Amino acid sequence: MIVKSLVLKNYRNHTNTRLVFSDRFNIIYGDNGQGKTNILEAIYLCASGRSHRTAKDSELIKFGCDSFSINANVFNIGSLEKDIEIKYYENQKNKLKINEIPIKKIGALMGNLYAVLFSPEDLFIVKQGPTERRRFVDITLSQIRPSYFYNLQQLTKILKQRNTLLKNINSNPKLMDTVDIWNIRLAEVAASIITARRTFSKMLSNLAESQHNFLTEKSEKISFDYKCSFQITEDDDKNKIQNLYIKSLEKTLSRDIILGYTTMGPHRDDYDIMVNGKSLKLFGSQGQQRSAVLSLKIAEIELIKRETEQYPVLLLDDVMSELDNNRQKYLMESIKEVQTFVTCTSTEHFENLLSGESNFFKIVGGN
């Protein structure tokens, strides 16, 4: 996929920024706080429907203004060009258009642009808690499978309703009769999410393993394993998982009522990232953790390509300076067919790494 051009109006510190991109490398450089990451964030928003830095769209509006807009012209192989438009007015929902046609659901945005973002914060995937790992998987899966995104939205809704029910049962014991209905609804959506996560993790793990073999000259074997919050086996199909989940919800019901929330389910899943069979979070050195994230990110690009037959665009936010020479070269080798956007404070770093056509954009104060 290729983002041909981008227009930002009153988006963060960009009043009216128009950029025409190279199909290969786009180096967005400038001093700190000038608006480089804001450009990557806008591209990412077009692909995933959310900013990687905030859940509040109102923060994206330029200070003192009441709306922002993003227009991205995207080209993907085997299909027509697409104009993605996102407009947001304070206190209203996003208004989305694809080729001038309004779309109602944010899920319909998915699949028009695939993007992989790689920033220093991605180290959190390894270092921090399960939320970061779920987020990593959920965002990628949502891009390549809109149905997964809808299921996640459903999951959040149903969990909210079930949790309200749990909180009210003590004061209104009659509500107990409705728990089964909520368990069934929850388990149906959960089983779809769980099977998707299980398949995704296996694919990602295999791809990351071959990347990592190459990067570490076979001295390290990486794995990325899905850990469902209740016991399932590899052969369990969706129906079986649904039933297993209902059983575990029944088992934990009394605890859930005391706590007032659902303690088991996809919102509690995790992923084990291991190197040579040992937890990377607990035993990996900083360098090993960085290498693992690099392998996972390259695997993510490959996975999107396999699933969608399109390479995603790659957004590298401040990562080049964090990688040593070998890893920089390795990354560059791996993304030969990927349109890449790089932010940096100085271009010195790149001149000997870049091959092919590159556009340079100097950003000063949102211009």
Footprint on residues 292-351 left by ligand ATP (CB under 6 A): 343, 345
Q: How far is the CB of 46 from ligand ATP (least distance, A)?
A: 16
The secondary element (H helix, E strand) that includes residue 46 is helix 36-48
Q: Can residue 119 be called a binding residue for Mg ion (CB under 5 A)?
A: no
Footprint on residues 16-55 left by ligand ATP (CB under 6 A): 30, 32-38
Of positions 5, 16, 59, 258, contacts ligand ATP by CB under 6 A? 59
Q: Quick one: 117 or 264, whose CB is closer to Mg ion?
A: 117
Q: How far is the CB of 35 from Mg ion (least distance, A)?
A: 8
Q: Can residue 56 be called a binding residue for ligand ATP (CB under 6 A)?
A: no
Q: Residues 123, 136: contact at Cβ < 8 Å?
A: no
Q: Quick one: 8 or 215, whose CB is closer to Mg ion?
A: 8
Q: Residues 266, 193: contact at Cβ < 8 Å?
A: yes
Q: Quick one: 11 or 330, whose CB is closer to ligand ATP?
A: 11
Q: How far is the CB of 56 from ligand ATP (least distance, A)?
A: 10
Q: Quick one: 168 or 345, whose CB is closer to Mg ion?
A: 345
The site for ligand ATP, by CB under 6 A, has a size of 16
Q: Quick one: 38 or 223, whose CB is closer to ligand ATP?
A: 38
Q: Quick one: 28 or 144, whose CB is closer to Mg ion?
A: 28
Of positions 3, 7, 12, 339, contacts ligand ATP by CB under 6 A? 12
Kindly list the distances between the CA atom of residue 220 and the CA atoms of 145, 208, 322, in Å, as whole numbers in the listed order.
31, 11, 21
- Work out whether the CA dihedral 290, 292, 296, 298 comes out positive or negative: positive
Q: How far is the CB of 343 from Mg ion (least distance, A)?
A: 6
d(CA 162, CA 262): 7
Would strands 115-118 and 313-317 be described as parallel, antiparallel, or unpaired? parallel
Footprint on residues 29-48 left by Mg ion (CB under 5 A): 37
From the list ligand ATP, Mg ion, none, partner contacted by residue 163 (C-beta under 5 to 8 A by kind): none
Can you read off the two tokens belonging to residue 263?
């303690």
Transcribe 307-365 into DSSP letters. Answer: HHSSPPEEEEES-GGGS-HHHHHHHHHHTTTS-EEEEES-SGGGTTT--S-EEEEE-ST
Q: How far is the CB of 32 from Mg ion (least distance, A)?
A: 7
Transcribe 184-251 into DSSP letters. Answer: HHHHHHHHHHHHHHHHHHHHHHHHHHHHHHHHTTTS--EEEEEE-SS---TT--HHHHHHHHHHHHHH
Query: Which range touches ligand ATP (CB under 6 A), out of 60-68, 185-193, 230-238, 325-333?
Result: 60-68
Phi, psi of 144 (to 5 degrees): -90, -20
Q: Quick one: 30 or 312, whose CB is closer to ligand ATP?
A: 30
Q: Which residues pair with 72 in a beta bridge?
A: 6, 84
From the list ligand ATP, Mg ion, none, partner contacted by residue 59 (C-beta under 5 to 8 A by kind): ligand ATP
Q: Residues 362, 30: contact at Cβ < 8 Å?
A: yes
- Interface residues with ligand ATP (CB under 6 A) are 12-13, 30, 32-38, 59, 61-63, 343, 345
